[in-house]
Amino acid sequence: MSYQTPRGTYDILPDESGKWQELEQIIRDQCRLYRYKEIRTPYFEDTSVFARKNDSSDMVNKEMYTFTMGTDSYTLRPEGTAGVIRAFDQHKLYGSMEMPARFYYMGAMFRHERPQKGRQRQFTQFGVENIGVKSPEIDAETIALGIDIVKAMGISSIKVSINTLGDDESRQAYRDALKAYFEPHIDTLCADCRRRIVQNPLRILDCKVDHDNPVVKDAPRLSDYLNEESKAYFERVLAALDAMGIAYEVDDRLVRGLDYYTHTVFEVISTHPESGSQATIFGGGRYDHLVDYFGGPQMSGIGFAIGMERLLILAGAEGHRAPEDDGTDVYVIGLGDVSAEVLKTAEEIRHAGFTAEANLMQRSLKSQFKSADRSRASYIVIMGEDEIRNGTVNVKNTKTKSQETIARNQLIDKLKEWNI
Protein backbone atom coordinates (compact mmCIF):
# COMPACT_ATOMS: atom_id res chain seq x y z
CA MET A 1 0.00 0.00 0.00
CA SER A 2 1.26 3.51 -0.71
CA TYR A 3 0.48 6.16 1.86
CA GLN A 4 -0.97 9.47 0.74
CA THR A 5 -1.96 12.75 2.38
CA PRO A 6 -5.68 12.81 3.26
CA ARG A 7 -7.92 14.39 0.60
CA GLY A 8 -7.82 18.17 0.76
CA THR A 9 -4.43 18.29 2.49
CA TYR A 10 -0.96 18.60 0.99
CA ASP A 11 2.71 18.61 1.82
CA ILE A 12 4.89 21.66 1.43
CA LEU A 13 8.14 20.19 0.10
CA PRO A 14 11.54 21.86 0.63
CA ASP A 15 11.44 23.31 -2.89
CA GLU A 16 8.24 25.19 -2.03
CA SER A 17 8.94 26.27 1.52
CA GLY A 18 10.94 29.32 0.36
CA LYS A 19 7.84 31.01 -1.02
CA TRP A 20 5.94 30.33 2.21
CA GLN A 21 8.74 31.78 4.28
CA GLU A 22 8.85 34.85 2.06
CA LEU A 23 5.09 35.38 2.44
CA GLU A 24 5.29 34.90 6.20
CA GLN A 25 8.08 37.47 6.36
CA ILE A 26 6.13 39.98 4.27
CA ILE A 27 3.14 39.51 6.55
CA ARG A 28 5.24 40.01 9.68
CA ASP A 29 6.88 43.13 8.21
CA GLN A 30 3.55 44.68 7.22
CA CYS A 31 1.96 43.86 10.57
CA ARG A 32 4.88 45.54 12.30
CA LEU A 33 4.31 48.69 10.22
CA TYR A 34 0.65 48.74 11.30
CA ARG A 35 1.59 47.86 14.90
CA TYR A 36 -0.23 44.54 15.02
CA LYS A 37 1.12 41.90 17.43
CA GLU A 38 1.01 38.16 16.90
CA ILE A 39 -1.37 35.97 18.89
CA ARG A 40 -1.27 32.17 18.81
CA THR A 41 -4.32 30.25 19.92
CA PRO A 42 -4.88 26.48 19.97
CA TYR A 43 -5.65 24.49 16.84
CA PHE A 44 -8.69 23.05 18.57
CA GLU A 45 -11.19 24.64 20.90
CA ASP A 46 -14.32 23.56 22.71
CA THR A 47 -16.91 23.06 19.98
CA SER A 48 -19.08 25.75 21.58
CA VAL A 49 -16.47 28.41 20.68
CA PHE A 50 -17.39 27.94 16.99
CA ALA A 51 -20.93 26.52 17.14
CA ARG A 52 -22.56 29.56 18.65
CA LYS A 53 -26.28 29.76 19.27
CA ASN A 54 -28.42 29.23 16.20
CA ASP A 55 -25.51 29.72 13.78
CA SER A 56 -26.68 29.42 10.19
CA SER A 57 -23.34 29.29 8.34
CA ASP A 58 -22.26 26.32 6.24
CA MET A 59 -18.92 26.45 8.00
CA VAL A 60 -20.49 25.66 11.37
CA ASN A 61 -23.31 23.42 10.17
CA LYS A 62 -21.56 21.29 7.57
CA GLU A 63 -17.81 21.72 7.54
CA MET A 64 -16.44 21.37 11.04
CA TYR A 65 -14.05 18.63 12.14
CA THR A 66 -15.56 17.82 15.50
CA PHE A 67 -14.49 14.98 17.77
CA THR A 68 -15.29 13.88 21.28
CA MET A 69 -12.86 12.79 23.96
CA GLY A 70 -14.77 11.28 26.84
CA THR A 71 -17.62 13.69 27.41
CA ASP A 72 -15.85 16.70 25.88
CA SER A 73 -16.53 17.90 22.35
CA TYR A 74 -13.72 19.65 20.50
CA THR A 75 -13.45 21.17 17.03
CA LEU A 76 -10.41 21.81 14.85
CA ARG A 77 -10.56 25.54 14.24
CA PRO A 78 -12.34 26.37 10.97
CA GLU A 79 -11.33 30.03 11.29
CA GLY A 80 -9.27 32.25 13.59
CA THR A 81 -11.58 35.01 14.80
CA ALA A 82 -13.54 33.04 17.41
CA GLY A 83 -10.39 31.75 19.13
CA VAL A 84 -8.83 35.21 19.24
CA ILE A 85 -11.93 36.75 20.82
CA ARG A 86 -12.18 33.82 23.25
CA ALA A 87 -8.55 34.54 24.28
CA PHE A 88 -9.20 38.31 24.43
CA ASP A 89 -11.97 37.67 26.93
CA GLN A 90 -10.37 34.78 28.83
CA HIS A 91 -7.26 36.87 29.60
CA LYS A 92 -9.30 40.07 30.11
CA LEU A 93 -7.13 41.83 27.56
CA TYR A 94 -9.85 44.48 27.27
CA GLY A 95 -8.68 45.65 30.70
CA SER A 96 -4.93 45.49 30.17
CA MET A 97 -4.31 46.42 26.51
CA GLU A 98 -4.32 49.80 24.86
CA MET A 99 -7.39 50.14 22.60
CA PRO A 100 -7.77 49.31 19.86
CA ALA A 101 -6.08 45.99 20.56
CA ARG A 102 -4.47 44.74 17.35
CA PHE A 103 -3.79 41.05 16.76
CA TYR A 104 -2.59 38.97 13.89
CA TYR A 105 -2.29 35.22 13.44
CA MET A 106 -1.12 32.70 10.89
CA GLY A 107 -1.76 29.02 10.80
CA ALA A 108 -3.78 26.03 9.69
CA MET A 109 -7.58 26.04 9.59
CA PHE A 110 -9.79 23.03 8.89
CA ARG A 111 -13.02 22.84 6.93
CA HIS A 112 -14.59 19.75 5.43
CA GLU A 113 -15.22 21.25 1.97
CA ARG A 114 -15.05 19.75 -1.49
CA PRO A 115 -11.39 20.15 -2.42
CA GLN A 116 -10.39 21.98 -5.60
CA LYS A 117 -7.69 24.40 -6.69
CA GLY A 118 -7.43 27.05 -3.97
CA ARG A 119 -9.80 25.19 -1.65
CA GLN A 120 -8.45 22.62 0.80
CA ARG A 121 -9.65 20.90 3.91
CA GLN A 122 -6.56 21.98 5.78
CA PHE A 123 -5.59 25.46 4.61
CA THR A 124 -3.58 28.33 6.00
CA GLN A 125 -4.93 31.71 6.97
CA PHE A 126 -3.28 34.92 7.92
CA GLY A 127 -5.79 37.04 9.78
CA VAL A 128 -6.03 40.21 11.84
CA GLU A 129 -8.45 41.41 14.47
CA ASN A 130 -8.68 45.04 15.59
CA ILE A 131 -10.78 45.17 18.74
CA GLY A 132 -12.19 47.83 21.04
CA VAL A 133 -12.78 50.92 18.91
CA LYS A 134 -15.69 51.27 16.54
CA SER A 135 -14.62 53.69 13.88
CA PRO A 136 -15.25 53.72 10.12
CA GLU A 137 -11.67 54.89 9.59
CA ILE A 138 -10.40 51.75 11.36
CA ASP A 139 -12.48 49.67 8.95
CA ALA A 140 -10.71 51.39 6.06
CA GLU A 141 -7.29 51.06 7.71
CA THR A 142 -7.86 47.31 8.17
CA ILE A 143 -8.68 46.87 4.49
CA ALA A 144 -5.56 48.88 3.60
CA LEU A 145 -3.35 46.49 5.58
CA GLY A 146 -4.72 43.50 3.67
CA ILE A 147 -4.21 45.25 0.34
CA ASP A 148 -0.63 46.20 1.24
CA ILE A 149 0.18 42.53 1.85
CA VAL A 150 -1.44 41.41 -1.40
CA LYS A 151 0.48 44.10 -3.31
CA ALA A 152 3.76 43.27 -1.58
CA MET A 153 3.38 39.78 -3.07
CA GLY A 154 3.22 41.30 -6.54
CA ILE A 155 -0.54 40.86 -7.00
CA SER A 156 -2.11 43.84 -8.72
CA SER A 157 -5.21 42.45 -10.47
CA ILE A 158 -7.64 42.83 -7.59
CA LYS A 159 -11.07 44.17 -6.94
CA VAL A 160 -12.29 45.36 -3.55
CA SER A 161 -15.97 44.57 -2.96
CA ILE A 162 -17.57 46.22 0.01
CA ASN A 163 -20.99 46.39 1.61
CA THR A 164 -22.67 47.14 4.88
CA LEU A 165 -25.00 44.85 6.78
CA GLY A 166 -26.01 47.80 8.95
CA ASP A 167 -26.68 47.79 12.65
CA ASP A 168 -28.96 45.32 14.49
CA GLU A 169 -32.10 47.32 13.79
CA SER A 170 -31.43 47.61 10.05
CA ARG A 171 -30.53 43.94 9.74
CA GLN A 172 -33.64 42.86 11.60
CA ALA A 173 -35.82 44.99 9.33
CA TYR A 174 -34.13 43.47 6.28
CA ARG A 175 -34.43 39.91 7.61
CA ASP A 176 -38.15 40.43 8.15
CA ALA A 177 -38.50 41.81 4.62
CA LEU A 178 -36.59 38.88 3.12
CA LYS A 179 -38.62 36.36 5.05
CA ALA A 180 -41.89 37.90 3.88
CA TYR A 181 -40.56 38.02 0.31
CA PHE A 182 -39.21 34.43 0.14
CA GLU A 183 -42.03 32.61 1.94
CA PRO A 184 -44.43 32.55 -1.04
CA HIS A 185 -41.55 31.26 -3.24
CA ILE A 186 -40.37 28.57 -0.84
CA ASP A 187 -40.94 25.77 -3.39
CA THR A 188 -38.42 27.26 -5.80
CA LEU A 189 -35.60 27.23 -3.23
CA CYS A 190 -33.12 24.49 -2.38
CA ALA A 191 -33.51 22.40 0.78
CA ASP A 192 -30.89 24.44 2.63
CA CYS A 193 -32.55 27.72 1.72
CA ARG A 194 -35.87 26.45 3.03
CA ARG A 195 -34.15 26.06 6.41
CA ARG A 196 -32.47 29.44 5.97
CA ILE A 197 -35.81 31.28 5.59
CA VAL A 198 -36.50 30.54 9.23
CA GLN A 199 -32.98 30.62 10.61
CA ASN A 200 -31.33 33.47 8.70
CA PRO A 201 -32.80 34.54 5.34
CA LEU A 202 -29.67 36.62 4.60
CA ARG A 203 -27.86 33.35 3.96
CA ILE A 204 -30.10 32.70 0.93
CA LEU A 205 -28.38 35.57 -0.88
CA ASP A 206 -25.08 33.73 -0.47
CA CYS A 207 -26.39 30.30 -1.59
CA LYS A 208 -24.29 28.62 -4.28
CA VAL A 209 -27.19 26.40 -5.41
CA ASP A 210 -29.77 29.17 -5.71
CA HIS A 211 -27.29 31.69 -7.04
CA ASP A 212 -29.03 32.12 -10.42
CA ASN A 213 -32.58 31.62 -9.21
CA PRO A 214 -34.54 34.71 -10.43
CA VAL A 215 -36.40 34.79 -7.13
CA VAL A 216 -33.08 35.29 -5.36
CA LYS A 217 -31.91 37.82 -7.92
CA ASP A 218 -35.03 39.95 -7.46
CA ALA A 219 -34.97 39.84 -3.66
CA PRO A 220 -35.24 43.15 -1.74
CA ARG A 221 -31.98 45.08 -1.44
CA LEU A 222 -30.38 45.59 1.94
CA SER A 223 -29.56 49.19 1.08
CA ASP A 224 -33.30 49.99 1.21
CA TYR A 225 -33.52 48.90 4.85
CA LEU A 226 -30.54 50.71 6.36
CA ASN A 227 -31.31 53.29 9.01
CA GLU A 228 -29.64 56.71 8.88
CA GLU A 229 -26.94 55.80 11.38
CA SER A 230 -25.89 52.72 9.43
CA LYS A 231 -25.83 54.67 6.17
CA ALA A 232 -23.74 57.44 7.71
CA TYR A 233 -21.27 54.93 9.14
CA PHE A 234 -20.84 53.25 5.76
CA GLU A 235 -20.41 56.55 3.96
CA ARG A 236 -17.54 57.38 6.27
CA VAL A 237 -15.88 54.03 5.56
CA LEU A 238 -16.08 54.77 1.83
CA ALA A 239 -14.80 58.32 2.33
CA ALA A 240 -11.80 56.96 4.26
CA LEU A 241 -11.04 54.51 1.44
CA ASP A 242 -11.32 57.40 -1.04
CA ALA A 243 -8.92 59.42 1.08
CA MET A 244 -6.35 56.61 0.84
CA GLY A 245 -6.91 56.22 -2.89
CA ILE A 246 -8.24 52.66 -2.53
CA ALA A 247 -10.64 51.80 -5.33
CA TYR A 248 -13.69 49.69 -4.42
CA GLU A 249 -17.06 48.56 -5.70
CA VAL A 250 -20.09 48.63 -3.46
CA ASP A 251 -21.85 45.29 -3.87
CA ASP A 252 -25.10 45.33 -1.97
CA ARG A 253 -25.45 41.55 -2.41
CA LEU A 254 -22.28 40.85 -0.45
CA VAL A 255 -23.35 39.28 2.86
CA ARG A 256 -20.35 36.95 3.59
CA GLY A 257 -20.69 33.36 4.73
CA LEU A 258 -20.27 33.80 8.48
CA ASP A 259 -22.92 34.90 10.95
CA TYR A 260 -21.16 37.39 13.17
CA TYR A 261 -20.89 40.40 10.89
CA THR A 262 -22.48 43.80 11.48
CA HIS A 263 -21.90 47.00 9.48
CA THR A 264 -18.92 46.78 7.10
CA VAL A 265 -18.19 43.57 5.18
CA PHE A 266 -15.66 43.24 2.38
CA GLU A 267 -13.89 40.85 0.07
CA VAL A 268 -10.83 41.29 -2.08
CA ILE A 269 -11.13 39.27 -5.25
CA SER A 270 -8.55 38.44 -7.89
CA THR A 271 -9.44 39.55 -11.40
CA HIS A 272 -6.53 37.61 -12.91
CA PRO A 273 -7.67 35.19 -15.66
CA GLU A 274 -5.98 32.26 -13.87
CA SER A 275 -7.73 32.83 -10.56
CA GLY A 276 -10.51 30.34 -11.35
CA SER A 277 -13.53 29.78 -9.16
CA GLN A 278 -11.75 30.39 -5.83
CA ALA A 279 -10.88 34.00 -6.54
CA THR A 280 -11.53 35.50 -3.11
CA ILE A 281 -8.14 36.30 -1.64
CA PHE A 282 -9.47 37.69 1.58
CA GLY A 283 -12.64 38.57 3.34
CA GLY A 284 -13.70 40.10 6.58
CA GLY A 285 -15.85 42.59 8.35
CA ARG A 286 -16.95 44.21 11.57
CA TYR A 287 -18.57 42.35 14.44
CA ASP A 288 -20.41 44.07 17.30
CA HIS A 289 -21.36 41.07 19.40
CA LEU A 290 -18.49 38.60 19.63
CA VAL A 291 -16.61 40.15 22.55
CA ASP A 292 -19.67 40.17 24.80
CA TYR A 293 -20.69 36.72 23.54
CA PHE A 294 -17.53 35.21 25.03
CA GLY A 295 -18.10 36.99 28.35
CA GLY A 296 -16.32 40.32 27.82
CA PRO A 297 -17.77 43.82 27.72
CA GLN A 298 -19.81 45.15 24.79
CA MET A 299 -17.02 45.98 22.33
CA SER A 300 -16.84 46.03 18.59
CA GLY A 301 -14.07 44.60 16.43
CA ILE A 302 -13.13 44.22 12.81
CA GLY A 303 -10.84 41.82 10.99
CA PHE A 304 -10.18 39.82 7.88
CA ALA A 305 -8.41 36.63 6.89
CA ILE A 306 -6.34 35.89 3.81
CA GLY A 307 -6.14 32.39 2.37
CA MET A 308 -2.39 32.03 2.08
CA GLU A 309 -2.52 29.18 -0.47
CA ARG A 310 -4.67 31.31 -2.76
CA LEU A 311 -2.39 34.26 -2.32
CA LEU A 312 0.61 32.16 -3.33
CA ILE A 313 -1.17 30.67 -6.36
CA LEU A 314 -2.10 34.16 -7.54
CA ALA A 315 1.32 35.63 -6.82
CA GLY A 316 2.80 32.87 -9.01
CA ALA A 317 0.20 33.52 -11.73
CA GLU A 318 1.14 37.22 -11.73
CA GLY A 319 4.80 36.32 -12.18
CA HIS A 320 6.08 36.76 -8.63
CA ARG A 321 9.06 34.49 -7.95
CA ALA A 322 10.25 33.64 -4.45
CA PRO A 323 13.94 34.11 -3.78
CA GLU A 324 15.83 30.90 -4.54
CA ASP A 325 18.16 29.07 -2.18
CA ASP A 326 21.47 30.82 -2.73
CA GLY A 327 23.65 27.77 -2.06
CA THR A 328 26.07 26.99 0.71
CA ASP A 329 28.90 29.35 1.65
CA VAL A 330 31.33 26.47 2.11
CA TYR A 331 31.42 22.82 1.12
CA VAL A 332 34.00 20.70 2.96
CA ILE A 333 35.51 17.73 1.16
CA GLY A 334 37.71 15.02 2.65
CA LEU A 335 40.23 12.75 0.90
CA GLY A 336 40.76 9.41 2.63
CA ASP A 337 39.61 8.42 6.06
CA VAL A 338 39.23 11.97 7.41
CA SER A 339 35.50 12.34 7.97
CA ALA A 340 35.86 13.34 11.62
CA GLU A 341 38.17 16.22 10.66
CA VAL A 342 35.82 17.27 7.85
CA LEU A 343 32.96 17.30 10.32
CA LYS A 344 34.95 19.32 12.87
CA THR A 345 35.95 21.90 10.24
CA ALA A 346 32.35 22.29 9.04
CA GLU A 347 31.26 22.84 12.66
CA GLU A 348 33.88 25.59 13.14
CA ILE A 349 32.68 27.29 9.95
CA ARG A 350 29.04 27.17 11.07
CA HIS A 351 29.89 28.48 14.52
CA ALA A 352 31.50 31.45 12.79
CA GLY A 353 28.16 32.16 11.09
CA PHE A 354 28.75 30.72 7.59
CA THR A 355 26.63 28.01 6.06
CA ALA A 356 28.53 24.77 5.55
CA GLU A 357 27.89 21.31 4.19
CA ALA A 358 30.26 18.49 5.05
CA ASN A 359 30.71 15.57 2.67
CA LEU A 360 30.94 12.59 5.00
CA MET A 361 30.55 9.84 2.42
CA GLN A 362 34.25 9.24 1.67
CA ARG A 363 33.62 9.23 -2.07
CA SER A 364 36.02 10.02 -4.90
CA LEU A 365 37.25 13.57 -5.27
CA LYS A 366 35.35 13.92 -8.55
CA SER A 367 32.04 12.89 -7.05
CA GLN A 368 32.53 15.20 -4.05
CA PHE A 369 33.28 18.15 -6.34
CA LYS A 370 30.09 17.36 -8.24
CA SER A 371 28.11 17.44 -4.98
CA ALA A 372 29.71 20.77 -4.06
CA ASP A 373 28.63 22.08 -7.44
CA ARG A 374 25.05 20.91 -6.89
CA SER A 375 25.05 22.65 -3.49
CA ARG A 376 26.20 25.81 -5.28
CA ALA A 377 29.11 26.30 -2.88
CA SER A 378 30.95 29.62 -2.93
CA TYR A 379 34.07 27.99 -1.50
CA ILE A 380 35.21 24.38 -1.36
CA VAL A 381 37.54 23.37 1.46
CA ILE A 382 39.56 20.25 0.63
CA MET A 383 41.23 18.25 3.38
CA GLY A 384 43.43 15.16 2.88
CA GLU A 385 45.58 13.23 5.28
CA ASP A 386 48.67 15.29 4.25
CA GLU A 387 46.91 18.60 4.92
CA ILE A 388 45.73 17.39 8.29
CA ARG A 389 49.26 16.36 9.21
CA ASN A 390 50.62 19.73 8.06
CA GLY A 391 47.85 21.78 9.68
CA THR A 392 46.67 23.21 6.33
CA VAL A 393 43.60 23.16 4.09
CA ASN A 394 43.08 23.83 0.38
CA VAL A 395 40.40 26.35 -0.43
CA LYS A 396 38.90 26.74 -3.87
CA ASN A 397 36.96 29.85 -4.87
CA THR A 398 34.31 28.44 -7.20
CA LYS A 399 33.77 31.74 -9.00
CA THR A 400 37.38 32.57 -9.87
CA LYS A 401 38.35 28.85 -9.89
CA SER A 402 41.52 29.81 -8.01
CA GLN A 403 42.78 27.50 -5.28
CA GLU A 404 45.19 28.18 -2.43
CA THR A 405 46.65 26.38 0.56
CA ILE A 406 46.27 28.16 3.87
CA ALA A 407 46.93 27.35 7.52
CA ARG A 408 43.93 25.60 8.95
CA ASN A 409 43.76 27.93 11.93
CA GLN A 410 43.51 30.85 9.47
CA LEU A 411 40.46 29.46 7.69
CA ILE A 412 37.76 31.39 9.56
CA ASP A 413 39.68 34.67 9.34
CA LYS A 414 40.17 34.14 5.63
CA LEU A 415 36.47 33.41 5.07
CA LYS A 416 35.64 36.65 6.88
CA GLU A 417 38.22 38.53 4.85
CA TRP A 418 36.75 37.17 1.61
CA ASN A 419 33.45 38.53 2.83
CA ILE A 420 31.21 35.70 1.63
Q: Which stretches within 127-167 are classed as H helix? A: 136-152
Write down the least CB distance from residue 47 to ligand HAM, Å. Answer: 17
**Smallest separation, CB 141 to ligand HAM (Å):** 14
Q: Among 41, 56, 125, 262, indicate the residue that binds ligand HAM (CB under 6 A).
A: 125
CA nearest neighbour of 130 among 85, 177, 172? 85
Q: Does 127 engage in binding with ligand HAM (CB under 6 A)? A: yes
The DSSP secondary-structure symbol of 119 reads B
Indicate the DSSP class of residue 333: E
Q: Is 111 in the site for ligand HAM (CB under 6 A)?
A: yes
Q: Of residues 30, 41, 56, 81, which one binds ligand HAM by CB under 6 A?
A: 81
Binder among 197, 238, 255, 281 for ligand HAM (CB under 6 A): 281
Among 77, 86, 196, 310, binds ligand HAM (CB under 6 A): 310
Q: What is the CA radius of gyration of the chain?
A: 28
Question: CB under 6 A: which stretch of 12-20, 220-228, 274-282, 322-330 binds ligand HAM?
Answer: 274-282
Query: Considering CB under 6 A, how many residues would be counted as binding ligand HAM?
Result: 26
Rounded distance between C-alpha atoms, residue 310 and residue 290, angstroms: 27
Residue type, 259: D
Q: Measure the N-to-C terminal CA separation of the chain; round to a whole number of Å.
A: 47
- Which of residues 147 and 281 has its CB atom nearest to ligand HAM in the complex? 281
* Size of the chain, expressed as the number of residues it contains: 420
Strand, coil or helix: what is 403?
strand
Kindly tell me which of 120 and 328 has the beta carbon lying closer to ligand HAM. 120
The stretch near ligand HAM (CB under 6 A) out of 91-99, 303-311, 341-349, 368-376 is 303-311
> Alpha-carbon dihedral of residues 195, 196, 199, 200, nearest 10 degrees?
180
Per rule CB under 6 A, is residue 285 in the interface with ligand HAM? yes
Where helices occur in 282-384 by DSSP H, the ranges are: 290-293, 308-317, 339-351, 365-374
H/E run at residue 242: helix 228-244
AA letter at 180: A
79 scored as a contact of ligand HAM (CB under 6 A): yes
Q: What backbone torsions phi and psi does residue 330 show, to the nearest 5 degrees?
A: -135, 140
Stretch that binds ligand HAM, among 182-190, 276-284, 352-360, 391-399 (CB under 6 A): 276-284
Q: Give the amino acid at 25.
A: Q
From 29-37, 41-49, 113-121, 188-196, span contacting ligand HAM (CB under 6 A): 113-121
Residue closer to ligand HAM by CB (options 80, 201) is 80
129 is an interface residue for ligand HAM by CB under 6 A: yes
* Distance in angstroms (rounded) separating the CA atoms of residues 105 and 95: 21
The nearest distance, CB 314 to ligand HAM, in angstroms, is 10
In the bound complex, what is the minimum distance in angstroms from residue 290's beta carbon to ligand HAM?
9
Task: State whether residue 36 is helix, strand or coil.
Answer: coil
Site for ligand HAM contains 280 (CB under 6 A): yes
Residues forming contacts to ligand HAM in the complex (CB under 6 A) are 79-81, 111, 113, 118-120, 123, 125, 127, 129, 257-258, 280-285, 303-305, 307, 309-310
